[in-house]
Amino acid sequence: MRRGSRGTPAGEPGSVLADETEGYLLAHAHRDQAQREAEELCAGMPWLTTAQTGELTAHYVRRRLDVTRQLMLGTVRRAAELRQEYENRYAQLRRALLRRHAAGACAVLACAAGVGAVAGVLIR
């Protein structure tokens, strides 16, 4: 189970609410940044009318948010792929460690049985 940065296990109500709130705030921060960039762009074009400035700003913000959304979705997909790869590797390592421990335990038992047999022969 994944633990959030707030120490709450993922999937719990507190974690879900915090994640949604964080996403909401992040989305608004991106939108505000895009709005500022669009206004700076339009400020460099003094010949635009007010309607043109509004239209260009709205178009720029929409496109910027689309690009940001695509980047974030790509990041989420890659994170899921990496999580699966790491989980698979972790499972492989656990199986290998279990096999090694089982082999070691068998070797210790075999040695103990051998020592016991030798001791039994020597005692007679």
Distance of CA 93 to the CA centre of its chain: 21
Give pLDDT, residue 5. Answer: 52
Residue 115: the pLDDT is: 93
Tell me the average pLDDT of the chain: 90
How far, in Å, CA of 100 to CA of 23, rounded? 45
Owner of token pair 């948010």: 65
Rounded Cα distance, 91 and 112, in Å: 31
Its pTM stands at 0.63
- Report residues of the chain scoring pLDDT below 50: 1-3
What pLDDT does 63 receive? 97
Give the number of other CB atoms < 10 A from CB of residue 9.
11
Q: What is the pLDDT of residue 114?
A: 93
Residue 15: what pLDDT? 84
Judge contact between 41 and 56, C-beta under 8 A: yes
